[in-house]
Amino acid sequence: MEKFTTLRAVAAPLPMVNIDTDKIIPKQFLKTIARTGLAKGLFYEMRFDEKGQPKDGFVLDQPAYRHAQILIAGENFGCGSSREHAPWALLDAGIRCIVSTSFADIFYNNCFKNGILPIVLPKEQVDMLMDDAQRGANAVLTVDLEKQEITGPDGGTIQFDLDPYRKHCLLNGLDDIALTLEKADKIDAYEARQQQAEPWLAG
């Protein structure tokens, strides 16, 4: 998993509330277990009509936001089903940070497992960042995970809270597998002791 340290990027405004995981990545794109190639289905129903033709106006398709890596979203982002394809699709499209007043619990946890930083802030601060994000290509924010700080385009800063364990995992690029492999020497030692004491278990 890619480390998250400091991200300086364009922020895209998405002020809709209750964006569920089916809106983020519709069910027809869930047939794969690969984490790449899902960007084409991201927010599909908001970006394309029934015939697959592009709709006008969706924020991430606008020239100023096509390379956005930060999303400023409405409340209760990521509600609905538990599909992990939702953070996969966001990450495949380049989104590394999402700011909202609230997230669905499962989606929130899945973000950390995939190298995305979800930040929860009070509504007035999200509204400030939403205003900043309306500036198009000038809507550049800097997210410093070590300092737990967001710096706006005018230099103003906002502090955010984060669980120390999750912060450690993101800073060091540790997903569940990498965390387990940190204990590889202890796992190997245990298996060696068990094989010596109970060799029949090894088959």
Q: Is residue 10 predicted with pLDDT exceeding 70? A: yes
The structure's pTM equals 0.88
* d(C-alpha 150, C-alpha 138), whole Å: 15
> How distant, in Å, are the alpha carbons of 26, 84, 108, 151, 195 from that of 89?
10, 9, 14, 26, 43
DSSP state of 54: B
Token pair for 1: 């998993």
**Which of 10, 26, 51, 2 lies closest to 152 in space, CA to CA?**
10
Residues 93-149: pLDDT tens digits? 999 999 999 999 999 999 999 999 999 999 999 999 999 999 888 889 999 999 999
Q: Is 106 exposed, middle or buried (0-12, 13-18, 19+ CB in 10 A)?
A: middle
Average pLDDT over residues 56-71: 94
Tell me the domains of the chain and their CATH numbers.
Answer: 6-172 (3.20.19.10)
* d(C-alpha 69, C-alpha 92), whole Å: 11
Give Cβ neighbours of residue 128 (< 8 Å, ≥ 6 apart). Answer: 152, 156, 158
Q: Where are the beta strands (DSSP E) in 40-155?
A: 70-73, 97-100, 117-120, 140-144, 149-151
